[in-house]
Structure 1
Amino acid sequence: MIDKEQLHNMVEGGENDRVEFKECSDSIPSSAYETVASFSNTNGGTILLGIDDAGEIMGINEDDELKLKSDFVTALNSPDCIEPPVYVQPQTIDTDQGKVIAVTIPNSSQVHKHAGKVYLRDVESDTDITNNQQRLSDLYQKKRTAFTETKIYPELTFEDLDSSLFDKARKLIRANQSDHPWIVLDDKELLEASILYKKDFTTGQEGLTLAAALIFGKDQTIQSLLPAYKVEAMVRRENLDRWDDRITLRTNLIDTYQQLKEFVYKHLSQKFHMEGDQRIDLRDVIFREVIGNAVVHREYTSALSTNLIIGRNEVTITNPNKALFHGPIDPSSFNPHPKNPNIRKFFTSFGWTDEIGSGIRNTTKWLPRYVPNAKPLFIEDDVFKTIIPLEVAHLGTYVNKWITLLDLPEELSQHIEEGLEEVLLPSDLIGASWNEVLLYLVPSWHKKGTKLERLDWPDKQFYKEEDIKEVPSWTTNGTKLLHKKVMYLIQILTLTSTPISLDDMMSAIGYKNRATFRGNYLDPLENVEFVTKTIPDKPQSPDQKYVITEKGKLFLGGHNLVSE
């Protein structure tokens, strides 16, 4: 769901490839449907009804709010308007200037047409590509290759599906939204409306898709299509070599989701939080999202399993993935992309997932209330990794020894401590001594730093435990333990753990030459996205400061920056 702050940010950012404003008082402008088609065919986006092209909130006619929502939903389910249909849930946001209706359009696995025309989103425009054969061909090819859930199996029949799952699905949908249009459809109509039964207009193939088998298939059907597919959940608290409890699932996604939640609830404690007058089950809102993401966004053609491991200090979920990039996700600035939009649509209809990207945002929001000071870690890679801390260790615990090690001014201790409390350590270091922390971090920096060419990490650096322990005063004297360049890099990451100006940074380190400081240390840290400017659009601003990024915090805290 989009809140007031997100709406404000969208309006401030103006129209772009993911946001469209539509002035709308008492009727939906016809151009909105072109945008629906273009967002569906490109990367998805949000249409804001009640805002003019200049970004001024005009508001809708409040008396027509329900009619506007109903008209929009009805039109998107009519083949005369959008073919194939697009299912959306319009949302009203109250502002001081009036009500705005927000409609989030997902990136679809299908090519959608409005009034017989195909549109793509180009910057802030909806471009008609119906007669551009090259772009049209490229679009169909992209849709075929991007979403393996849409693969048609001509020999897959209704006999291969479990009819009881259709009734179960309708009950779940009805419980979440009593007027959902899918509730009144028969089994085949339901599959067609949700694009689980489709026709490929480029090949002429028609039939049930892989997503249909995964949601409604009998267990033997799923195993015949995907022999290696399985989901495992285990507890490793006492028996770390094997497990204390374990389940292995090779069944449909509805039962998989429900059984994973039951397993987590069996082994993790419940905790409530009051948000205004609303009592929120934190365990439920966090793991609803985490498990929903694992089921919805998995690459199902992979032979790797999905694993959920509940350990002593953290929950780890690994999932086969079609990676868009490699590295940690910054929840404050990431651009979500759908992996299995048709499966996600079903889970959204159940109330098990929200719009694309909500899982990361909601988990980040609620986890610190479940585990104080905790932050989830999401790593995009060929195996997507999610880490949910159950206990927290941070560098702020060792601030005095840290300042001594790096030879930083004691008067900055409060500045540094506040920042280091946001630099979380791996769960293995919970309760660790200073010596143990240092013996972990120094080799970790070297191992990861040498893989980053733009950082030009020195090869001559102590990084083996036996070598480190031979360095005199290694626990307190960083100038002896760390290579000179490494010392500067770690000092900069430490000082930027809260925003700091260039002059204050150089003063704290005792560095005089601005040009070499930038060229040898600060610029390389910016290049690898460990540090960023607080005012990136105005690099020469007199108020400019530098701050460590989430990626930089992970490096400083000794975390892996890619999934293993």
Structure 2
Amino acid sequence: MDEKELRKIIRQGEGLTVEFKRAKTALPDNLFESVAAFLNRNGGHIVLGVTDDKKIEGVDLNCVEKICKQIANLSNNPEKLDPQNLIDPQVVDYKDKKLIYFFVPASSQVHKTGKKVFDRSVDGDFVVKTQSAISAMYLRKSNSYTENTVYPGLREIDIKRGMLKKAKDLIRSIRSNHPWLKLNKEDFFKAAGLIRYDSTIGKSGYTLAALMLFGTDEAISSYLPYYKIEAIVRKQDLMRYDDRLTVTCNLIDGYELLNGFIEKHLPDKFYLDGKTRLSLRDKIFREVIANMLIHREYMNPIPTTLVIYKDKLVTNNANKPFAYEKIASQLCSYPKNPHIATMFAQMGFAEYLGTGIRKISDLCEIYSGLKPKFVDNDIFIAEIPLTDHVPEGEKSGGLNGGLNGGLSGGLKIELNETQQKVFLEITKRPGVMIKELSGRLQMPIDTLDKVVSSLRKKELIERRGSKKTGGYWVKKEPTSTSW
């Protein structure tokens, strides 16, 4: 969230999906009433430091960090928000003042605060008092969100070995003090909403979301025998295909496989964002893949497809439509699987809900010169144009001006695409460790070790510090002509 986007929200004013609260020096007493109401209805934006009539008061600079920590901790505390739903607030500079912003997604569960159920209307938050109204809310959510389906027969052995550690490593690379990192397996799954009690059958168990995120291939095939994702290239052979990848594994592994397929078949056009090289391909298509996996209706047997043509990339996935229409780039996408979406966001696979489609749209115009299309129907369709368009950032010259001028003496060093990515990440983050690199680049540690070793042999980087706490620094930089 930046000042420009926040200005649009503030101009819109309070309503069904926007709430302002004063928070000069302390957390508002009724904040979690709004959080619970948004979770129980359609989600929405909360901005602290703004009055009901849009006056910008700001948050005291000395209190910003304290308030942000309180929001994160209380949202993960079932005594305050039941069930908990982790919130990660952002501090935004706005007209020389500090504001705190966060987006609350619509949840697939019914949430309480202070042992009360809240709902949202255009007039604000209100307590749901009658049992019939609360039951109607449970029914609405159970009919809308199949990711909460409980499978009592799913056992711990059906969770793929090493997946929890992999997820925690990815989360740690994004936020080293994340509250989920200290939890054991059962508490982790409960905090993430992946173990639930189903009152209709009187049993607790892993959910469909848990199965899809962490399950073994065998377990997924047993419960969802029709599940698969087909990635296809049709540039030359339009009747069949030029290349094909069939994914039947869990979503975390599948996300990485699909990104590898994209890297294999689409160019990574050079682009400078200020003085930083930005991989437009990675930024756009990682978000496209995450969106495709997050928004699929997994109870529907229609397979998900990703097809690369000469002039476009098209994804199709089964869907429970929210709008039955084309989606504008400014629209917050309606979360079809909130727990899967939250896990993807925590691991850094996707933007937080409400920003992904806008991000794809903005970057796509730079990448291809054209706008993407999104259609929210029984089949959710994303169409990303592919052209020979040269981003303006590429016209500005070599990589970061030859990465600060290149080697003394103009030494030429050949680097492949993977080596470039790793080198640039180390350039941006001196002292970075392998685990953090793995999380940021979504690259296996074994692969990274080989790439880092090759860069050390070329004497481009060096390791400093102890084995446990040391990291990598740039030693010297290649000229732009060798890239």
Give the TM-score range, shorter chain. 0.7 to 0.9
Q: Partner of 1:163: helix, strand, or coil?
A: coil
Aligned partner (choices 334, 341, 355) of residue 338 of structure 2:
341
Amino acid at match of 2:387: E
| 1:234 Cα deviation from its structure 2 partner | 1.0
1:67 maps onto 2:63 in alignment: no
Tell me the residue number matched to 1:354: 351
The 2-side partners of 1:113 and 1:205 are apart by 21
Tell me the residue number matched to 2:267: 269
What are the Cα deviations for residues 457-486 of structure 1, in whole angstroms up to 9, with x where unaligned?
xxxxxxxxxxxxxxxxxxxxxxxxxxxxxx
Tell me the residue number matched to 1:39: 38
| 1:183 Cα deviation from its structure 2 partner | 1.3
Q: Partner of 1:127: helix, strand, or coil?
A: strand
Amino acid at match of 2:338: P
Following superposition of structure 1 onto structure 2, how do residues 124-523 of structure 1 map, counting pairs within 5 Å? Answer: 124-129=123-128, 131-201=129-199, 204-332=202-330, 334-371=331-368, 373-391=369-387
8 Å CA contact 2:317–2:379 kept in 1: the answer is yes
1:106 maps onto 2:121 in alignment: no
- Root-mean-square deviation (CA, aligned residues, Å) is 1.4
Tell me the residue number matched to 1:84: 83
| 1:355 Cα deviation from its structure 2 partner | 2.0
Q: Partner of 2:267: helix, strand, or coil?
A: coil
TM-score scaled by structure 1? 0.67
Q: Partner of 1:324: helix, strand, or coil?
A: coil
Structure 1, unpaired ranges of 5+: 394-564
| 1:314 Cα deviation from its structure 2 partner | 1.0
The 2-side partners of 1:177 and 1:324 are apart by 32
What are the Cα deviations for residues 218-274 of structure 1, in whole angstroms up to 9, with x where unaligned?
101001111100001011111111111111011000011000000000000111322
Q: Partner of 1:272: helix, strand, or coil?
A: coil
Q: Which has the higher helix share?
A: 1
8 Å CA contact 2:332–2:355 kept in 1: the answer is no
Identical aligned residues as a percent: 38
Tell me the residue number matched to 1:518: none
What are the Cα deviations for residues 105-135 of structure 1, in whole angstroms up to 9, with x where unaligned?
1111111100100000011311101x31221
The 1-side partners of 2:347 and 2:221 are apart by 25
| 1:335 Cα deviation from its structure 2 partner | 4.4
Tell me the residue number matched to 1:533: none
The 2-side partners of 1:124 and 1:86 are apart by 24
Tell me the residue number matched to 1:28: 27
TM-score scaled by structure 2? 0.78
Residues 54, 327 of structure 1: CA spacing in aligned structure 2 closer, same or farther, 3 A cutoff? Answer: closer
What are the Cα deviations for residues 389-426 of structure 1, in whole angstroms up to 9, with x where unaligned?
11289xxxxxxxxxxxxxxxxxxxxxxxxxxxxxxxxx
The 2-side partners of 1:8 and 1:368 are apart by 22
The 1-side partners of 2:56 and 2:145 are apart by 37
Amino acid at match of 2:312: E
Structure 2, unpaired ranges of 5+: 390-483
The 2-side partners of 1:311 and 1:338 are apart by 28
Tell me the residue number matched to 1:115: 114
Tell me the residue number matched to 2:432: none
8 Å CA contact 2:18–2:44 kept in 1: the answer is yes
Q: Partner of 1:27: helix, strand, or coil?
A: coil
The 2-side partners of 1:75 and 1:139 are apart by 24
Amino acid at match of 1:367: C
The 2-side partners of 1:47 and 1:56 are apart by 15
| 1:10 Cα deviation from its structure 2 partner | 1.6
8 Å CA contact 1:11–1:55 kept in 2: the answer is yes
Amino acid at match of 2:282: D
Amino acid at match of 2:377: D
Q: Partner of 1:221: helix, strand, or coil?
A: helix
The 2-side partners of 1:345 and 1:65 are apart by 24
| 1:203 Cα deviation from its structure 2 partner | 5.1
The 2-side partners of 1:98 and 1:124 are apart by 27
The 2-side partners of 1:193 and 1:282 are apart by 34
Residues 164, 4 of structure 1: CA spacing in aligned structure 2 closer, same or farther, 3 A cutoff? Answer: same
Amino acid at match of 2:384: I
Higher RCO (CA 8 Å, separation ≥ 6 residues)? 2
The 2-side partners of 1:203 and 1:16 are apart by 38
Amino acid at match of 1:224: S
Tell me the residue number matched to 1:403: none
8 Å CA contact 2:17–2:38 kept in 1: the answer is yes
8 Å CA contact 2:209–2:340 kept in 1: the answer is yes
The 2-side partners of 1:379 and 1:72 are apart by 35
8 Å CA contact 2:306–2:315 kept in 1: the answer is yes
| 1:336 Cα deviation from its structure 2 partner | 2.4
Q: Partner of 2:181: helix, strand, or coil?
A: helix
Amino acid at match of 1:153: Y
Amino acid at match of 1:110: Q
Tell me the residue number matched to 2:410: none
The 2-side partners of 1:89 and 1:343 are apart by 16
8 Å CA contact 1:57–1:97 kept in 2: the answer is no
Residues 34, 202 of structure 1: CA spacing in aligned structure 2 closer, same or farther, 3 A cutoff? Answer: farther
The 2-side partners of 1:124 and 1:263 are apart by 48
